Amino acid sequence: MHQQLSSSMPPDGPKTKKPLDFVVKFALGVFVGSFALIWGGMYLSRPDRSIPPYTVGSQSGHVVAAHVPSGTQDDQIEKLLKRFRKVGHQTRDFGPMKIYPTTPEDPGGRYRQIVIYVFDNHGWTDPELLAKYLAGDAAVIKDYERSMRGYYRLQDQDEEGGIGPIPKNGRVASDTRILFKGLVTDPLPVEEDAEQGISISPL
């Protein structure tokens, strides 16, 4: 009787693995996909270390006031201005530089005309101060221009950029150093061609 009971049991063999439940597979897929999205987003939004971090503080029409951290050296501001120049030459799309279209209704382009003032004190980028400067407020103009660390100007095909206050009426201030002046159709210097990407790293 005992032998018959033993013979009725199935023989031992290799155990087959139970397939993963659909819910478990779905959860693992969501986890891996989320991790990939987070990593990809961090990679794409990584700061551009080849130019100083900057913030657009205010914009009035085609005039933009931006600021960099206090103490930013002239050579770093020069790199930022040359990046603006590179954009003007290659795409003329300053959107990735966090600047709204300056001539949105112009059939000649959304950035046909643009002037960028660079400060190292965010207070000068206040919208009210920019409005007073553009209105010609005598109480603001002198200190506003004296506080400029750099500028970039693009009008149709003509462009100019420099360290210090922007020239007015053809007069260049003693503390202004013009970095470049010419046409956006002119070839860029070789050292600028070697720059990496477009800035997406405001403060």
- Residue-wise pLDDT for 111-149, tens only, equals 999 999 999 999 999 999 999 999 999 999 999 999 999
- Measured between alpha carbons, how far is 178 from 175 in angstroms, rounded to an integer? 10
Same domain, 70 and 125: yes
Residue 94 lies in a domain: yes
- Residue-wise pLDDT for 30-74, tens only, equals 767 765 566 554 434 434 567 999 999 999 999 999 999 999 999
Higher pLDDT, 3 or 159: 159
Residue 203 lies in a domain: no
pLDDT score recorded for residue 49: 62
* Number of Cα atoms under 13 Å in the Cβ half of residue 181: 10
Same domain, 43 and 141: no
Contact predicate 55/126, CB 8 Å: no
Same domain, 26 and 99: no
Higher pLDDT, 199 or 94: 94
Same domain, 77 and 174: yes
Same domain, 35 and 76: no
- Residue-wise pLDDT for 13-42, tens only, equals 555 566 667 666 666 777 677 655 665 544
Same domain, 75 and 131: yes
β-pairing verdict for 113-119 and 63-67: parallel
Same domain, 75 and 38: no
pTM: 0.72
Query: Residue 60, class by beta-carbon neighbours within 10 Å (0-12 exposed, 13-18 middle, 19+ buried)?
Result: middle
Same domain, 138 and 185: yes
pLDDT score recorded for residue 50: 78
Residue 98 lies in a domain: yes
Identify the domain containing residue 125 by its residue range: 55-193
- Measured between alpha carbons, how far is 79 from 53 in angstroms, rounded to an integer? 11
Residue 122 lies in a domain: yes
Q: Hey, what are 6's tokens?
A: 């033993």
Residue 12 lies in a domain: no
Residue 9 lies in a domain: no
Residue 162 lies in a domain: yes
- Measured between alpha carbons, how far is 76 from 21 in angstroms, rounded to an integer? 56
What residues are paired with 168 via a beta bridge?
171
Q: Is the pLDDT of residue 193 over 50?
A: no
Integer CA distances (angstroms), 134 to 128, 157, 181, in order: 10, 23, 23
Same domain, 63 and 147: yes
Provide the number of structural domains found in the chain. 2
What residues are paired with 59 via a beta bridge?
64
Task: Write the single-letter amino acid at 82.
Answer: K
Same domain, 161 and 135: yes
Report the percentage of the chain scoring pLDDT > 70: 71
Same domain, 99 and 31: no
Residue 92 lies in a domain: yes
Same domain, 92 and 62: yes
Where does the pLDDT of residue 203 fall: very low under 50, low under 70, confident under 90, or very high at 90 and above?
A: very low
